[in-house]
Structure 1
Amino acid sequence: MNEAKLKTFVEQMVTDMAAAMSGVMTNIGHKLGFYKAMAGAGPLTPAQLAQKTNTHERYVLEWLNNQAAGGYVTYDPSSGTYELPDEQAMVLANLDSPVFMAPGVDTISSVWLDEDKVIDAFRTGKGIGWHEHHHRLFCGTEAFFRTGYRFHLTTEWIPALEGVEAKLKAGAKVADVGCGHGASTIVMAQAYPNSTFFGFDYHDESIETARQRAKEAGVADRVKFEVAAAKNFPGSGYDLVCFMDCLHDMGDPVGAAKHTRQVLAQDGTVLLVEPFAGRNIEDNLNPVGRLFYAASTAVCTPCSLSQEVGLGLGAQAGERRLSEVMAEAGFTRFRRATQTPFNLVLEARP
């Protein structure tokens, strides 16, 4: 037994347990408006924050101490005040920030709530349909990915595709498959008013939410959301078909890609956005890979295994495996258009 290694791992375990518990605190802070109230407000006492948020001071004190212990806020012992630094505010409080992440913590709470289902899946080998998860997963996923879509989809990802942005500006027909609450569909519709967008998802509750989101965004006249599966969504002649962080969740991604090729315009393009992954397992043994492997274990792989074929690509399928899927579906051109620390942005063409 190496005592030094044991001590180091015990410290890591304590750190991980503290992070897991503190994730709940982050969710509470976001939902009660603590971060928003602290952003740009300078040093605050617990009483001042409680007054600003109409909450109880005693609870606020404990919450602030947890946040200070984790480095989310700073504490000044001489004045007994707490402050949210500008950098942390960008991540926790600023809805218009390209790194706003606070609402995504709800995806973690949904995994805890569905823990028994996941344990049963391990024992039986059965899957868990997306619709079978706690509703927090749907809103948390929307919130987590929406930030990336808002700041990258129409400014970097689509421009990185061959000739696609010009089509969208002129007026194109676009399908967003596995659209969920429609975050990516709406972002595109806002950026390209001459184009028409169709969002498809098998989950009827998500489609209802997407329709409401489109009305709120003022793009309902150019966006149509419909309940449909990836292997038989309606329409043809699409200039662009998007799979935004969803192809790996599908039971039969090859079948979905084959159908897409059939309904794609002759010179159409597929935009495939997937979680970032390296070529080999060892390339993914880092914090981002750790996050995505956990999500894949509890959500993505069970989702695929709940469907026909059940290929189970997983969230860390990576570019090489995804290229094999698209090649099997009949696509002859496939490349990495661009990337972020969280996403691979891939282009496929017939």
Structure 2
Amino acid sequence: MGDPGVFDRTSDIEETMAAGARFMTDLSRAMVVLSCAVGDQLGLFAALADGQGRSADDIAKQAGADARYVREWARTLAAAGYLELDRSGEEFRLPPAYAALLADPGSPYYVGGIARLVPPLAAMVERVAGCFHSGEGLTPGDYPPAMYQATWRMSAKWLEAMLLDQWLPLVPGLEEKLTAGAEVAHLACGSGTALALLARRFPASRCTGVDRHELNVERARGEIAEYGVADRVTLTQVTGFADGLSGPYELVMAFDSLHLAADPGDVLRDVARALTETGVFLLLETDCSTDPHENVGDVAAFLYGTSTLYSVPLSRTGPVVAGMLGLPQPVLTRLCADAGLTAPRRIAAPTPFNVLYEIRKAS
């Protein structure tokens, strides 16, 4: 047993009470995020998007949901300050600022889909806890389809908004090469949205996508067919992160995924071999520091938590387990030098989580 006098001092009581209040805040946040996931999935936020006050019955009718469940959901978010409650306590209003974040997928500020990552990650807690004991890893197929569905939705939004009109113009000469016709590869291609967008904009180019997860490849094939570009996009399920990379390519892409590779340095060597002499590697990775004292705060806690439940298990069986915050720019610079690539050039920071790099063959 511990020392019975350990909490006798007033300062200890105050600190413990403050810690308890912080824990209660975080516990509340967890419930709010889960409620946001429900609201996004069922269209409850969309039913409130116009900023008008509505009863639970009205919200339920518009969303095709049960009113009693909707009332409890709405009161949860009213208690958290996300919804405004009228004087009667029966009507709920979504303020414009929250509508931009949660109700309108077309808004440049929309982040509602991120909440839908949390339930499938939470469902993996017991499985990952077992990995803590065994030291083993997991495969992409071990995770619920809902996790990938949420990822597809989020990535499609920022790719549609940024890839063609914001990112490509940052690389001198790249659009001209793609217009004339070039070979393109996407590692961990996910839903295939990036390839579909490129193939549609640049019909003279040919694109290759590889991914380790069958579910992603199936989704990508559907996306490619929907865009009408199946004649110029090849998709392959692979075992290793960069398997199937042949080239030579004018453009290789890896978006928010290199840290999932069993050996990121080995992937970079494969990229260096596959690039043309003028080719470019567009790499989106986590924006973080080599100093863990600087990786603090809400964003870092979210990233570390996601990494614990997803990134580390997926790469645990490899020789390198980078984790989601394991490839900051100085580390990438060293790995690129070892692989025969230039130091990563930071060209954009599209989200609070990420940074986009331009990387080329070293001369």
TM-score range, shorter chain: over 0.9
Q: What is the DSSP-based 3-state SS (H/G/I as helix, E as strand, rest coil) of the residue aligned with 1:34?
A: coil
2:284 to 270, 273, 276: 273
The equivalent residue for 1:31 is: 41
Query: Is 1:170 the counterpart of 2:180 in the alignment?
Result: yes
Q: What is the DSSP-based 3-state SS (H/G/I as helix, E as strand, rest coil) of the residue aligned with 2:77?
A: helix
Correspondence list, 1:175-214, <5 A: 175-214=185-224
TM superposition shift of 1:78? 4.2
Correspondence list, 1:277-296, <5 A: 277-296=288-307
Query: Is 1:254 the counterpart of 2:262 in the alignment?
Result: no
Which deviations, in whole Å up to 9, do the C-alpha atoms of 1:246-282 show, x marking residues without a partner? Answer: 1000001111111121121121111110122134212
1:113 to 116, 123, 129: 123
Query: Is 1:343 the counterpart of 2:354 in the alignment?
Result: yes
Give the whole-Å Cα distance in 2 for the aligned partners of 1:14 and 1:93: 27
Whichever residue aligns with residue 296 of structure 1, its letter is: S
The equivalent residue for 1:230 is: 241
The equivalent residue for 2:78 is: 68
Give the whole-Å Cα distance in 2 for the aligned partners of 1:286 and 1:103: 21
Q: What is the DSSP-based 3-state SS (H/G/I as helix, E as strand, rest coil) of the residue aligned with 2:231?
A: coil
Whichever residue aligns with residue 314 of structure 1, its letter is: G
The equivalent residue for 2:65 is: 55
Correspondence list, 1:324-335, <5 A: 324-335=334-345
Give the whole-Å Cα distance in 2 for the aligned partners of 1:170 and 1:278: 39
1:244 to 229, 252, 255: 255
Whichever residue aligns with residue 288 of structure 2, its letter is: A
Q: What is the DSSP-based 3-state SS (H/G/I as helix, E as strand, rest coil) of the residue aligned with 2:45?
A: helix
CA contact (8 A) 2:286 2:354 kept: yes
The equivalent residue for 1:313 is: 322
Q: Over alpha carbons, which structure has the higher Rg? A: 2
Give the whole-Å Cα distance in 2 for the aligned partners of 1:79 and 1:137: 35
CA contact (8 A) 1:200 1:225 kept: yes
Query: Is 1:217 the counterpart of 2:230 in the alignment?
Result: no
Q: CA RMSD in A?
A: 1.9
Which deviations, in whole Å up to 9, do the C-alpha atoms of 1:100-130 show, x marking residues without a partner? Answer: 2222223211121111221111112111122
Q: What is the DSSP-based 3-state SS (H/G/I as helix, E as strand, rest coil) of the residue aligned with 2:54?
A: coil
Give the whole-Å Cα distance in 2 for the aligned partners of 1:54 and 1:303: 38
Q: What is the DSSP-based 3-state SS (H/G/I as helix, E as strand, rest coil) of the residue aligned with 2:109?
A: coil
Q: What is the DSSP-based 3-state SS (H/G/I as helix, E as strand, rest coil) of the residue aligned with 1:72?
A: coil
TM normalised by structure 1 equals 0.93
The equivalent residue for 1:301 is: 312
Q: What is the DSSP-based 3-state SS (H/G/I as helix, E as strand, rest coil) of the residue aligned with 2:340?
A: coil
Give the whole-Å Cα distance in 1 for the aligned partners of 2:297 and 2:236: 38
Q: What is the DSSP-based 3-state SS (H/G/I as helix, E as strand, rest coil) of the residue aligned with 2:150?
A: helix
CA contact (8 A) 1:239 1:267 kept: yes
Query: Is 1:90 the counterpart of 2:116 in the alignment?
Result: no
TM superposition shift of 1:79? 6.8
After superposition, the Cα gap between the structure-2 partners of 1:59 and 1:232, relative to the gap in structure 1 and judged at 3 Å, is closer
Sequence identity, in percent?
28
Query: Is 1:103 the counterpart of 2:94 in the alignment?
Result: no
The equivalent residue for 1:42 is: 52
Whichever residue aligns with residue 297 of structure 1, its letter is: T
Q: Which ranges in structure 2 are unaligned for 5 or more consecutive residues?
A: 1-10
CA contact (8 A) 1:189 1:197 kept: yes
Correspondence list, 1:107-146, <5 A: 107-146=117-156
Whichever residue aligns with residue 313 of structure 1, its letter is: A
TM superposition shift of 1:183? 2.8
Moved more, 175-184 or 324-333: 324-333
Give the whole-Å Cα distance in 2 for the aligned partners of 1:219 and 1:93: 31
TM superposition shift of 1:22? 2.3
After superposition, the Cα gap between the structure-2 partners of 1:83 and 1:260, relative to the gap in structure 1 and judged at 3 Å, is same
Q: What is the DSSP-based 3-state SS (H/G/I as helix, E as strand, rest coil) of the residue aligned with 2:30?
A: helix
Whichever residue aligns with residue 345 of structure 2, its letter is: R
Give the whole-Å Cα distance in 2 for the aligned partners of 1:176 and 1:31: 29
Q: Which ranges in structure 1 are unaligned for 5 or more consecutive residues?
A: none
Give the whole-Å Cα distance in 1 for the aligned partners of 2:151 and 2:315: 17
